[in-house]
Structure 1
């Protein structure tokens, strides 16, 4: 989207996802394209992909395992059913993550009518367990790679996760901070 940084902002992305409970990556991309059209801006698919990737990297959006999802995907993503929603690049199910402060971009209130997505929900406990596992995995990868910048981001995310869900992130945070302080 040429002039749409507000549409592509991570909290706006989270707001769009929050409107539905969860969306596949392809559905979110379509929603952002629809918003750009409503706002009379051009669609830049690469910018949309980059915005989604950044929101996922920053834990504003998180991949949701099938066990955390209720409701079925519909024809907006090619008829993918819930069991397949978590597979493939376009079918990855995304939910609002711990680092998000969901906001609705201008015109987003019309998206449920435009996309015609069925009622959906997310089991927060199952999602929190998946996010904790992802955080552990990414911390190990960043430690092994010596990626101090990523470790600092992940350290910040541990505080967000702790406020977002009743999970114990202290062991992960302690390990990350030990690496950052070296």
Structure 2
């Protein structure tokens, strides 16, 4: 089953947020519904790619004793693969509300860390990508990234 980061974002969007394990289970269920045999572990690389591409953002929930939640990220254009509409009922997971401010802070912190690494490594392609992502994040959440973007811009 071929899925894009936007497809994964669409699955997550239908719930509001999912843990990594829940997303793996949802993707395995979609594969099953499409007549493909895939266990939930086969989707790790897809999930990692969606996170790397800012199509999914991970929110730390360890203080509440739960696994981190994945939410639709600022670079996503969520598309819902066929069969997604039944997943909430099949997996018995209710809709979750997302604190957009908290999600924005998580994306901003991640961008800050990745920007520092890209600048340190002199990776101009990554610097350019992160500048683009910074605009996506600002449009997506109530954060201001002028300072980070300025550091990235000066390092080009």
TM over 0.5: yes
Question: For 1:176 and 1:22, how far apart are their aligned partners in 2?
Answer: 30
Compared with structure 1, are the counterparts of its residues 26 and 173 closer, same or farther at alpha carbon in structure 2 (3 Å cutoff)? same
Please name the residue that 1:83 is paired with: 64
Aligned residues: 156
Q: How do 1:138-177 residues align onto structure 2 when only pairs under 5 Å count?
A: 138-177=114-153
Please name the residue that 2:12 is paired with: 17
Compared with structure 1, are the counterparts of its residues 161 and 110 closer, same or farther at alpha carbon in structure 2 (3 Å cutoff)? same
Please name the residue that 2:71 is paired with: 95
For residue 65 of structure 2, give the secondary structure of its aligned residue in structure 1. Answer: helix
Question: For 2:126 and 2:38, how far apart are their aligned partners in 1?
Answer: 30
Which digits, 9 at most, give the CA deviation of each residue in 1:9-66, with x for residues without a partner? 1111011111111100010011000000001123265651111101101111001133
Of residues 7, 31, 36, the one that matches 2:31 is 36
Please, which runs of 5 or more residues in structure 1 have no aligned partner?
Answer: 67-80, 86-90
The offset of 1:134, in angstroms, is 1.3
Which digits, 9 at most, give the CA deviation of each residue in 1:119-146, with x for residues without a partner? 3111101111121111111111221223
Q: TM-score, normalised by structure 1?
A: 0.79
Computed over aligned residues only, the root mean square deviation of the Cα atoms, in angstroms, reads 1.9
Moved more, 18-27 or 165-174: 165-174
Compared with structure 1, are the counterparts of its residues 30 and 129 closer, same or farther at alpha carbon in structure 2 (3 Å cutoff)? same
CA contact (8 A) 2:100 2:142 kept: no
Q: TM-score, normalised by structure 2?
A: 0.91
Moved more, 105-114 or 43-52: 43-52
Compared with structure 1, are the counterparts of its residues 29 and 82 closer, same or farther at alpha carbon in structure 2 (3 Å cutoff)? farther
